[in-house]
Chains A and B, each alone.
Chain A
Amino acid sequence: SYELTQSPSVSVSPGQTASITCSGDKLGEKYASWYQQKPGQSPVLVIYQDRKRPSGIPERFSGSNSGNTATLTISGTQAMDDADYYCQAWDRNTAWGVVFGGGTKLTVL
């Protein structure tokens, strides 16, 4: 089955740029989405179709996807960005099932 791999944790200082990666076989040939989740809350979509931002998501969130790696970039990271981030893609080999990465804990310190 298809797998997405994320680093368990990333740390960044306030105001700096955070990069969170998600790797999978030929991931660049699929659309990647990214979700932010804070403790006790439901996930929130922050990037879809590799690089699009939903309404209400700050411009400091951006995405890219090429080769085997999708990247979520947060520019000018703020304390409120401290959260878990999950990548997600579709797996056509399982009749369009869904796969999540294991999640990355972003710590802003």
Chain B
Amino acid sequence: QVRLVQSGAEVKKPGASVKVSCKASGYSFTGQYIHWVRQAPGKGLEWMGWINPNSGATNYAQKFQGRVTLTTDTSISTAYMDLSSLRSDDTAVYFCARDRGSYDYWGQGTLVTVSS
């Protein structure tokens, strides 16, 4: 069965970077784009960007351009989201999701807390 398993919770200081992983299984990893979506505490879903694991092509939401980098390692079917220059308002749960025109499978979420 399809699974997306994300790395564990992180606590970071303002100005630092965080890298969250998303390991896919149960399907051909290079066949579908992976998206990253975040959700601040008590807030709605916010799209961050997508990556095509087959080509490495990316598309980032304007809000995150220059701060977010999406990559994949196809040899281990894993996608990564790297967010730099962290601020307190980056505190959120970060999700990866598989794109089949809509998001049919989601990771369990990774809580990133930014605090001094």
- Does B77 have its Cβ within 8 Å of any Cβ on chain A? no
Contact present for A49 and B102 (CB under 8 Å): yes
Give chain B nearest CB distance to A49 CB in angstroms.
7
Q: Which of A12-20, A72-80, A96-104 is the contact stretch?
A: A96-104
- What total of A-B pairs shows CB separation below 8 Å? 56
Contact present for B62 and A42 (CB under 8 Å): no
Q: Find B62's partner among A1, A37, A43, A98 (CB 8 Å cutoff).
A: A1
Contact present for B102 and A88 (CB under 8 Å): yes
Q: Find B44's partner among A1, A45, A96, A103 (CB 8 Å cutoff).
A: A103
Chain B at the A interface: SS class: strand
Residues facing A in B23-80 (CB within 8 A) are 35, 37, 44-47, 49-50, 59, 61-62
20 contacts between A and B (CB under 8 A): A1-B62, A33-B103, A35-B103, A43-B103, A44-B106, A45-B102, A45-B104, A48-B101, A48-B104, A54-B104, A88-B103, A94-B62, A95-B59, A97-B61, A98-B47, A98-B50, A99-B47, A100-B44, A100-B47, A102-B44
